[in-house]
Amino acid sequence: MRVLQVEDDAIVARGTELLLRSVGSIVDTAGTGAEALEILRMTEYDIMIVDLQLPDMQGHELVRQMRARRIETPVLMVTGFSAPAAKMAAFAVGVDDFVAKPVDNAELIARLRAIVRRNNGFSHRVLQAGPVRLDQDGRTLAIGGSPVRLTRKEFDLLELLLIRRGRVVTKGTVLDHLYGGLDEPTSRTVDVFLCYLRKKMAGAGAPDLIQTVAGVGYRIDAEMAADAMVEQPVATVGHEARAAAAL
């Protein structure tokens, strides 16, 4: 499950990140509406969590601009204002659900799952770049049609890089994603995982997909990945069940 949260309070944002990552989600955070729009220009998400009060614009305005740009990512709006007028304004611009702070962790996860089930047609389940095809539901990798066996960490690393295609992913971000901020080893671990992953991909015919940005991190070329993004058709019942289980 790919989640973008738009929240300028660093403490709140970090808490939500840890919660969602603990149930297997990949989480990106934007501190402003403008930053969120820029991220959405390059990356697709299964769902967004948007705070009503942002430094540069209201959450309503962010959603209005998203819909005007034909960005149909489902949105859960979170706010300290519980007045009916605030809810009506949120739904009027295309928000999928609305919850008032403070939000119980279990309720937040339940609401996100419900929204994703209702909007499962927006979820991309296969990430593809050139000959590389990563099936997120089946957790399998194929290169040029031939299966490539990955460990769980190698799969998670490649998935993260494909999802954030075109953007540099730092070693710190990789460690945080692989270990959820708990019991993290040194950054040398990322080098080891990446080395094994690159060897397997090179042996299967995709040696240059992952680029190293010296002193910063790693990335996958945006044009190569974006042009090949595909949606895997699945049976409605199975897809919905997996969407609920993925978060």
Q: For residue 158, is it within any domain?
A: yes
**Least confidently predicted of 49-63, 117-131, 191-205, 212-226:** 117-131
Sign of the Cα torsion 34, 49, 121, 163 reads: positive
Same domain for 74 and 18? yes
Give the residue, 238 or 20, on which the prediction is more confident. Answer: 20
- Give residue 222's pLDDT: 63
Query: What is the domain range of residue 96?
Result: 2-122
Same domain for 10 and 81? yes
Q: Is the peptide bond before 102 cis (omega within 30 degrees of 0)?
A: yes
- pLDDT of 14 > 80? The answer is yes
| Number of domains the chain is built from | 2
Give the residue, 196 or 224, on which the prediction is more confident. Answer: 196
CB burial string 158-176: b at 16+ within 10 A, e below: bbbbbbbbebebebebbbb
Q: For residue 186, is it within any domain?
A: yes
Same domain for 18 and 109? yes
Tens digit of each residue's pLDDT (9 = 90 or more) over 70-106: 898 999 999 876 666 777 777 888 898 888 888 888 8
Same domain for 41 and 118? yes
Burial group, residue 80, by CB count within 10 angstroms (0-12, 13-18, 19+): exposed
- pLDDT band per the 50, 70, 90 thresholds, residue 244: very low
Name all contacts of 145-151 with Cβ < 8 Å and 24+ positions apart.
146/204, 148/200, 148/201, 148/204, 149/200, 150/197, 150/200, 151/196
% of the chain beyond a pLDDT of 70 = 82
Task: Write out the two tokens for 144.
Answer: 């040029």
- pLDDT of 242 > 50? The answer is no
Give the residue, 88 or 149, on which the prediction is more confident. Answer: 149
Same domain for 82 and 102? yes
- pLDDT band per the 50, 70, 90 thresholds, residue 228: very low
Q: In a 3-state reduction of DSSP, which class is residue 7?
A: coil
Model-wide pTM > 0.75:
no
Tens digit of each residue's pLDDT (9 = 90 or more) over 3-12: 999 999 999 9
The CATH number of the domain holding residue 35 is 3.40.50.2300
Same domain for 60 and 146? no
Phi and psi angles of residue 208, each rounded to the nearest 5 degrees, phi first: -115, 15
Same domain for 108 and 18? yes
- pLDDT band per the 50, 70, 90 thresholds, residue 125: low
